[in-house]
Amino acid sequence: MTPTRSAVRLSDGRELIYFDEKPGSGRSAYADSRQLPPPPPASQLRYDPLVDEWIAIAAHRQTRTFLPPTDACPLCPTTDRFASEIPAPDYDVVVFENQFPSFSDRIVPDEISELTEMVPVRPGLGRCEVVCFTSDHNSAFGSLPPSRVRTVVEALADRTAELSGLPGVAQVFPFENRGVEIGVTLHHPHGQIYAYPTVPPRTAAMLRAAERHATKTGGRNLYADVLAAEQTAKVRVIASNEHWTAYVPAASRWPFEVHVAPHRRVPDLPALSDAERDAFGPLYLDVLRRFDGLFGKPMPYISAWHQAVVGEGRDLGYLHLQLFSIRRAADKLKFLAGSESAMGAFVNDVVPEQAAQLLRDAA
């Protein structure tokens, strides 16, 4: 199923794209009635020489909308009483440029080249988009039908392909934050897409490991070998179908963490076949419902698509989704305190094999 795609411009020039499950909706005919100020300039990237990483400074994000009441939610459809980010009175899936982006293609005026001889500075060029999964404010991704999940996958594949072609983009990262415990600022079911101008630290580490493994094994793919080992061991597998396997990693960082991976090695979402796109939704929804069933209440989580980088190292990638929660017990959260935050050394309170069994039992 390929949704009907129609793009419009909001009053400040940002792009919005409707992905309609049925043609002829006419949603693109609705104009944005608001008078918005121009979008902010691009953020600033500052280099940290101590760890060889770039840090984004985006002060304008301090003013972003924070947990508004339902009747003022900017992700709901526009009504007679409130004009939201989505001009149409209803929608299936919609994607638009973030009003408060961490990265954008708008250049910072009076660009600074360095703060010290050790800390160069450059514009945070890239793009940040919001993905609304449903017009129903009170729904959740785990409550969507498989057909809607398929529409979301189509939208993410569309955006991955387009954003990967933008100048300077190093990696496209779709993700969802769910729950106030995670830090969401809007309750409406939605995700985001970051088109990074640099390779993020975790991806850089994964590329280094994958390259070492390929060198040592004569070109074998690291993630493919890890997936095959988990499928053979079976003890941490949560669910599977013809095209996908969901498993708890043997060295999980988070109390409850699951990887959902296609059996065929592909670099990113656009490379998935129709059969693989169809098969993802039922399996992923099953895993999400197990998460919610674990403690009998909505589970806060982060759902992160790991895709191949755009440039050098793309051949080492293997598309997979990482789903994890900071909840370690019904009434306890895992906080990233001293060891994790200061040193990046994770200590997991839940044995991965136990987590896998609990998730299997949560059906």
Range of 170's domain?
4-198
Tokens of 350: 């839940």
Cα(157)–Cα(314) distance, integer angstroms: 17
pLDDT-derived band of residue 363, with 50, 70 and 90 as boundaries? confident
Structural domains of the chain, count = 2
Q: What's the farthest any 2 CA atoms get from each other in the chain?
A: 63
Tokens of 103: 């990265």
Would you state the pLDDT for residue 111? 63
Q: Are 177 and 184 in contact (CB under 8 A)?
A: yes
Residues that are catalytic: 190
Q: Are 108 and 41 in contact (CB under 8 A)?
A: yes
Instruction: For residues 227 and 194, state if they share a domain.
Output: no
Model confidence over 1-57: pLDDT tens digits?
799 999 999 999 999 999 999 999 999 999 999 999 999 888 999 999 999 999 999
- The torsion angle over the Cα atoms of residues 113, 116, 117 and 118, rounded to 10 degrees, is -100
Instruction: For residues 238 and 297, state if they share a domain.
Output: yes
Final residue belonging to a domain, choices 144, 164, 198: 198
What CATH number is given to the structural domain containing 47? 3.30.428.10
Higher pLDDT, 114 or 264: 264
Cα(146)–Cα(285) distance, integer angstroms: 8
Instruction: For residues 225 and 180, state if they share a domain.
Output: no
Q: Which of 172, 3, 175 is nearest to 94 (CA)?
A: 3
Is the whole-model pTM more than 0.95? yes
Locate tokens 């992700």: which residue? 75
Q: Where are the beta strands (DSSP E) in the chain?
A: 4-9, 15-20, 43-48, 53-57, 93-97, 114-116, 119-124, 127-132, 171-178, 190-196, 237-240, 244-247, 256-262, 301-306, 320-325, 327-329, 332-333
Locate tokens 């929660």: which residue? 325
Final residue belonging to a domain, choices 144, 177, 198: 198
Instruction: For residues 226 and 346, state if they share a domain.
Output: yes
Residue 5 CA: distances (Å) to CA of 13, 154, 326: 18, 10, 36
Q: Which of 227, 218, 221 is nearest to 313 (CA)?
A: 221
Instruction: For residues 215 and 101, state if they share a domain.
Output: no
Final residue belonging to a domain, choices 198, 224, 250: 198
- Within a 13 Å sphere around the CA of 30, how many CA atoms are in the beta-carbon half? 20
Model confidence over 5-19: pLDDT tens digits?
999 999 999 999 999
Instruction: For residues 90 and 217, state if they share a domain.
Output: no
